[in-house]
Chains A and B, each alone.
Chain A
Amino acid sequence: MQIEGNEAARAAERVARESYGRLVACLAARTGDVAGAEDALAEAFAAALHTWPTEGVPHNPDAWLLTVARRRQTDALRRRTTRRAGEEHLKMIADEIEAAADAPDEIPDRRLALMFACAHPAIERGMRAPLILQTILGLTAIDIAAAFLIPPATMGQRLVRAKARIKDAGIPFGIPDKELLPERLDAVLEAIYAAYTKGWAEIGDAASIALAEEAIWLGRLVVGLLPDEPEAKGMLALMLYTEARRAARRSADGAYVPLEQQDTSLWDDSQIGLAEALLKAANAAGPSGRYQIEAAIQSAHVARRTLGANTWPSIRALYDHLLALSASPVVALNRAMALAELEGPEAALAAIAPLSADKRMADYQPYWAARGHLMARAGHKAEAHEALTLASGLATDAAVRHYLRGQIAALVDG
């Protein structure tokens, strides 16, 4: 019952959130002042709590909130502004309030513009996801801090600074023109995906599960607002493929279960079905970007595990494609794991040999885990032992540590 109650509360929150993000975006787009927009909206919500119980809930609550918040914004401006300089501005706002009152049902959706502002290159990369989570979804600094493992006070200060920067630097609220759109959209997608991977990494933690759901919600929002962008669909598909496997990632007693051993009946078919449809639509629309390729790799894994199809050749080809797009060591590692299935562990070890000179690999857990597994499969016990021990030491997840210790023990016994 407790869980059902929580779910109902979350559903209600999500409906409120739809309004929250719309209203903040609408209020911020006109002044460039995100913090001011949030303050004005908070005052409008407070006024609603005061007025609605006695006077009844208005016919269009969003329009009511928007009108009250706009008045608050205007009042705040008036307090700050010298009479002459602000007069024209105040008149424009007054006109706008009237226009809004005439058409109360039409609240323009400016959330995409707000997201582009939050993910602008002039905003520090690590703050883009937190900013979007706060301004579009209304998450508190405390919730965001918990998911990003940062002290709440620090997160709060950084959010305040980032919002001040949007206003002071004159970061635009709008959809970038064609020339800039691909790179700017990429930054928005990267921020959302960063929020998702944060929510994916910590499995049992409630804040993290919620964060993954929020990221998927944002992904759906972007796909809805930019239906012609294949990469947005690709990213949403990628998140859904991954999310579909959440229940299978741990055994009943909490142990880590690698993809190969996951019980596919625990995979969420509806999420996979949606991901497949999105990926198909994305591929039909145009050239493949990073997210489409990564989603296609997940699709191939699904076909492999559920239908028994040998999709390793396509997986390797997709990783080749991905590697050509971004020469990242993470991609090289994953490609090597696919290569091991096709040509054996020695070929895979040869493929990752150049990485051993990369200083970043020294404390990169996935590198040592992959190397350890390949060494074990190739029968190099001493090297496998060393790499798996390092991987276990570097792992932040207790279940993964436990799994790797099991692998090391098997090495000694076998």
Chain B
Amino acid sequence: MRYMMLIHHDEVALANAPQRELWADYAAFNEALAKAGGGMAAGERLQPASAATTVRFGDSRTEVLDGPYADTREQLAGYFLIEVDNLDEAIAWAKRCPSSRYGSIEIRPLAESYPRPDLSLRRQDG
């Protein structure tokens, strides 16, 4: 299955983090992801939420607002896409991601137009 891993950071905690260590960890993580073959090409880091603009349709007109969609402590900070067998493997990647120490990672399966492949034939798991 393909999963979008949405990284939400506590921007204050991130700013206070030891930067060199954090990005070294990230480099190692990206390498591991590429090596496992599960990491799909797409994965990007976003600028802080202070750079966000939100367009919202309401009262029959569109409004352009400065700031992020929701003014919460944790903000969408980036994403990566993975293709793995199941949710447990996605959870394992989320735990490994250095960002999990500075916020949360939301795991969202992609909407697929075909059914999930039958893994039970290839795996002996009980």
Contacts and interface: CB of A to CB of B under 8 A. Distances in A.
B88 A168 contact: no
A98 to B, nearest CB: 12
Interface in A77-117: 77, 80-82, 85-86, 88-89, 92-93, 95-96, 110, 112-113
A29 B86 CA distance: 12
Interface in B103-126: 107, 109, 113-118, 120-121, 123, 125-126
B116 A122 contact: no
B82 to A, nearest CB: 11
A32 interface: yes
A112 B126 contact: yes
B85 interface: yes
5 contacts: A31-B115, A31-B116, A81-B115, A96-B118, A172-B86
Pairs A-B, 7 closest by C-beta atoms: A174-B125, A85-B114, A172-B86, A170-B1, A175-B126, A30-B120, A113-B126
Given A80-B115, A92-B121, A170-B109, 5 more contacts: A170-B86, A171-B87, A172-B87, A173-B125, A174-B126
B86 to A, nearest CB: 4
Contacts of A31: 115-116, 118
Nearest to A87: B114
A82 B114 contact: yes
Nearest to B117: A89
Interface string A28-46: 0111100000000000000
Nearest to A175: B126
Contacts of A86: 114-115
Interface string B78-110: 000000011111100000000000000001010
Nearest to B1: A170
Interface of B: 1, 3, 85-90, 107, 109, 113-118, 120-121, 123, 125-126
A3 interface: no
A285 to B, nearest CB: 20
A170 B118 contact: no
Contact of B87 (A29, A77, A96, A122): A122
Interface residues of A, number: 32
A319 to B, nearest CB: 34
A176 interface: yes
A173 B120 contact: yes
A283 B125 CA distance: 28
Contacts of A198: none
Nearest to A111: B126
A114 to B, nearest CB: 9
A32 B115 CA distance: 10
A120 B123 CA distance: 19
A31 B113 CA distance: 15
Contacts of A113: 125-126
B115 A120 contact: no
A149 interface: no
A110 B120 CA distance: 10
A327 interface: no
B114 A96 contact: no
A162 to B, nearest CB: 14
A173 B123 CA distance: 10
Contacts of B85: 170, 172
A260 B88 CA distance: 47
Contacts of A180: 88
Interface in A44-95: 77, 80-82, 85-86, 88-89, 92-93, 95
B115 A82 contact: no
B88 A89 contact: no
Contacts of A171: 86-88
Given A110-B126, A113-B126, A29 B120 contact: yes
B115 A170 contact: no
Nearest to A122: B87
